[in-house]
Structure formats: structure tokens, C-alpha cells
Homo-oligomer: A and B are copies of this chain.
Amino acid sequence: MRRLSSVDVNFDEQLNSLLAFETVNDAALIHTVDQIIHDVRTHGNAHVLKLTQQFDQHPAQTFAELELTQAALKAAFEGLDPTVRTALELAAARIRSFHTAQKQDGWQYTDELGNVLGQKVTPLDRVGIYVPGGKASYPSSVLMNAIPAQVAGVTEIIMVVPAPKGDLNELVLAAAYLSGVHRVLTIGGAQAVAALAYGTETIPKVDKITGPGNRYVAVAKRAVFGQVGIDMIAGPSEILVYAEGQNNPDWLAMDLLSQAEHDEIAQSIFVTTDASLLEQVAASVEKLLPTLPRVEIARTSTNDRGALILVKDRTEALALINRVAPEHLELCVDDPDSLLPEIRHAGAIFMGRHTPEAIGDYCAGPNHVLPTSGTARFSSPLGVYDFQKRSSIIHCSPTGSQSLAQAADILAQQEGLDAHARSARYRVGGQS
């Protein structure tokens, strides 16, 4: 793994280069996706079926065959190995419990003039959840996307998951069953995003689409943003592990490798004030790498995008953390609570040495859909709030409206909006 130190003369440049990652902006890809969206809007189910046969080699002959029944989901759940079933139920229960604590309520108050002001909170009517198929088909992602929607009170949750050659992951279906998903369609790619965003003969259009996907899915989500809401354009996953004091270097190395095994472009960064610990972790990474089934992916990720960074002190460490704004941040120190107030930007913060990111990925309760590539600077973990929205409420009484109508009149005139001014003025004294 590459080593950096904050005393390097070109440390800032090295850091910028390490963190550089641009979201998809490939003109040919964008054109292809735009065409798929256009064709799905024009031809509906027939085109979705055609692309599903073509790209996924799905054996379905009719569109109806692409939809699963609730009975199939239930059967998948009931067919689970009891140990796995218990673990999945634990995860679902904990995710539901955490997200229930996150649910937001409306509020209102009466001002000193007697006017009522507030906000009403309403769940979305219908959402689409994208679940990748094939090698990256993760049941945990089903729980993490569907349960917050269910807790929010979304009326209809429609899941799409591609089934290459018709093959499905039974645990994904079981997770859908546990999360209250209403409909499951075995479609994927830009065609699934287009079908959810614009609707087809049998798929109603949804209000929001969440969930990770490949480049086609990312570009399609960006293209339909505005027509529907989207969660985010996900980049590669990253972790920053900060350690001080007594640590087991194997634990730290495995936490870094758990990120690296996701993807060749995943990023694992280790930060410490302790040069000796840095070398121990480097050695552990080298020792453990060859023992991993996904060794090639993890090696490419650690070689190309990983880094071990030596800093002088906590002040430098905190500045670096906030500069990186990591998706996952581990604080493997004695006193993580003393660092917490200074952490401004991170998707999720794993406190202390007994909170590996893997626990958060599956079953701690908080969401594992987190802002990547530094977007924790301005965005949040997926949550119930992504499936709720607000409407402002303004209720003026005949007397309460008087001074407001007068101020509105004055300001509207300044903006040259005469109808606004007169509309307000009508309410002053009951007539214009």
C-alpha cells in the first residue's frame, strides 16, 4: 500500500490525487441510456421485455413472467437455513428499530398575531427500489432500502432486481419479504429505471427511486432526476480508519480489506499518528490479503486506491478526516467521544475498537447506504426522511393577516409584482 505523510512537501497534491474521482460522464453511455429511456417511454413493457431478454438472457417470453408473486417471496423466506433466517431477522428488526427512531412528525405553532404556521409531513405514495443482480446482489441492501420506506409509511414499494439467465438470489427475495416490499420485478439496468420513472402498461410510475446499480443505472437515475426523486449517484465505497494507542493490527487491516474486497475502485485509507502501528498494519494487510477469496479485487483496490497516512497529531488527523469526508469512518481509539465533536463530515462513524464497519453494513441498525466520494460534505445516510416530505402550512386569521398583508404589499411593489401587492391588499381591512 502506498504510504503518505503529512510532512511530505507535496502532501496536499498527493492527497488530491488519491481522492480524485469523477462521477460518470461518458457521452456515449449517456446517449445509450437516453435512447433506452426514450424507447421504454414509447414502447412500454414490450421494450423492457426485449432488453431483459437481450442484456440479462432472461428466458421469459412475456412481461408477466418478469413479476414475482408474494407467495414466491414468502417461500424464499421460509426456505432459509434457520441460522441465516435468524441473522436476517435480527438485522431487519434492528434496522426497523433504528429507523423508527428517525421518523419525523409535522409541527405547528401559533404566532403572536394569531396565525398558524407549520409543516405537515407525509410519506411518499410509491417508491422504486433498485437491487443489483448477479455477483453484487446483496440482501442487506434490500433491507437498508425497503425498511426505511416501510417505516415512513410508503403506500407501495416496488423492487426491481435483474435476474441474469433467470437466476435469482433466494436471500434477496427473503429480504424483500421481511421488508414489506409490495411488488418485485426481475428487470434491471436503465430499462428498469425508465419503467419506474415513467410507468408502463403494468408498472405504475413511482415518485422516487433509490438503491445502487452499475454505470447504466447511475446514468439513468441522473437522467430521470426531476421526473422522480432519487437518493444519490453512488460512487465507489470507501473507508477511513483512524487509530491510536493499543490496537490489534490484524483487526485494522481486515477492516481496511473488508472495504477493498467490494470493488477494484473501492478505497481504504489508514490514518495514524503512530509510525510503528502504520508499519504493523501494512504488514498485516500483506499477510492477510493472500488469504482472502476475493484477493484479486482487494489487491487491486489496495494497490491502486489505498493509502497509509502518517499524521503528526490529532489536529492533523481531524483536518484530514474532514477533508476526505469519508463514507465510513472508524475511530479506533480509547476515547472516540472526545473526537466526535470535531468530526464534521462522514457518512457513518464507527466508534471504538469493537465497532467494525461490517457490523454497520449488516445489523447495527443505521443505514449502510451512505454518501460516497466526499459527498458527506452535503448529504446524509439514506433514511426515513428520504421517504417523507413536507408541506408548509400557513393559516392567517382575518386580523392576523393585517400586518403581514401590508408588508407583502410593500415588498411586492418593490419587486414590480402588482398582482401580488393587490392580492395582499384585498385582505387589508377586508377589501382593496
Residues of A within 8 A of B (CB): 23, 83-84, 86-88, 90-91, 94, 97-98, 101-102, 107, 109, 111, 115-117, 119-120, 122, 124-125, 135, 138-140, 171, 207-208, 222, 225-229, 232-233, 248, 250-251, 254-255, 257-258, 260-262, 288, 292-294, 298, 336, 340, 343-352, 354-367, 370-371, 375-381, 383, 385, 389-398, 400-401, 403-408, 410-412, 414-424, 426-427, 432
Contact = CB atoms under 8 A, between A and B. Distances in A.
A19 to B, nearest CB: 13
Contacts of A140: 411, 415
Nearest to A408: B362
A117 B355 CA distance: 11
A400 B353 CA distance: 12
A391 B348 contact: yes
16 contacts: A23-B227, A86-B407, A87-B406, A124-B377, A140-B415, A229-B378, A251-B423, A255-B423, A261-B419, A350-B394, A358-B424, A361-B412, A365-B394, A367-B392, A376-B389, A385-B385
B394 A389 contact: no
Majority secondary structure, A binding face: mixed
A355 B414 contact: no
Q: What are the 4 A-B residue pairs with the smallest beta carbon separation, nearest first? A: A351-B395, A229-B378, A366-B392, A380-B390
Given A115-B364, A349-B393, 16 more contacts: A83-B410, A84-B414, A116-B351, A226-B375, A261-B417, A340-B393, A354-B398, A356-B427, A359-B396, A359-B404, A363-B407, A363-B408, A364-B394, A367-B392, A379-B389, A380-B389
A418 B348 contact: no
Given A101-B107, A354-B396, A356-B426, A361 B420 contact: yes
